[in-house]
Amino acid sequence: MQDNDIHDVVRMLREEVVQWQVPAVTQIAEKRDPFQVLISTVLSLRTKDDVTAAASRRLFALATTPEEMHALTPGQIIEAIYPVGFHKTKARNILNICRDLLERYAGRVPDEIDELLTFKGVGRKTANLVVTLAYGKPGICVDTHVHRITNRWGYVATNSPDKTEFALRAKLPVEYWIIINDLLVSYGQNRCRPISPFCSRCRLALYCERIGVDRSR
């Protein structure tokens, strides 16, 4: 993919993803509640979207603020979020996050990536998602779909999501920073699958170098 092709690619992605459901964390972010975005993103790690959405609904039915959630027991949180991946670890991390928010930030979720990274269980993907979706500030959330697809295109050449984020920061037009995650999560879940992607149905095929694709449909 040539650098200038990204404008046509994003336009096509926007047209294509309207047929699929919006990612779970993005739906939660419509409330513009940084705390709920933070917690639901923690839940989403290594977990399918439908499981994340259901677990988030159950948990936020019990508590919607750091104060309320910190008052829950680990068992209550585990019961609410099961069967998300690593639910016991995430329950502990959620309680630690709530404690730190109360002790260090008076219950307010910070809007800077470097500050968010100081919380246990919060990596660059989560920090970027909070900054972009909850606060509307520039950032690039790189999950497995963004990492895989941008490398598959040949737009970047990296071997980890963190390296992909910084490569995209260097070349992706800023106007696409916030939207790229939503677009590629939907596209990656439904068309540009990790194994045997639907290349024959892909409008982006003209721009894609299909790096790492051994078999497609």
Q: Which domains does the chain have, with CATH numbers?
A: 3-21+140-207 (1.10.1670.10), 31-134 (1.10.340.30)
C-alpha dihedral sign at 55, 136, 187, 142: negative
* Count of alpha carbons within 13 angstroms of residue 62, beta-carbon side: 17
Query: Which residue positions in the chain have pLDDT lower than 50?
Result: none
pLDDT of residue 95: 98
Instruction: Give the span between the Cα atoms of 90 and 64, in whole angstroms.
Output: 16
pLDDT of residue 208: 97
Share of the chain above pLDDT 70, in %: 100
Could you tell me where the DSSP H helices lie in the chain? 6-17, 24-29, 34-44, 49-62, 66-70, 74-81, 87-105, 113-116, 124-129, 144-153, 161-171, 179-190
Q: What is the mean pLDDT of the chain?
A: 95
Q: What DSSP element (H or E) covers 78?
A: helix 74-81
Cα separations in angstroms, 1 against 8, 11, 17: 11, 15, 20
For 30, the token pair is 């419509």
Query: In terms of pTM, does the model score above 0.85?
Result: yes
In this structure, are residues 141 and 132 in contact, taking their beta carbons and an 8 Å threshold? yes
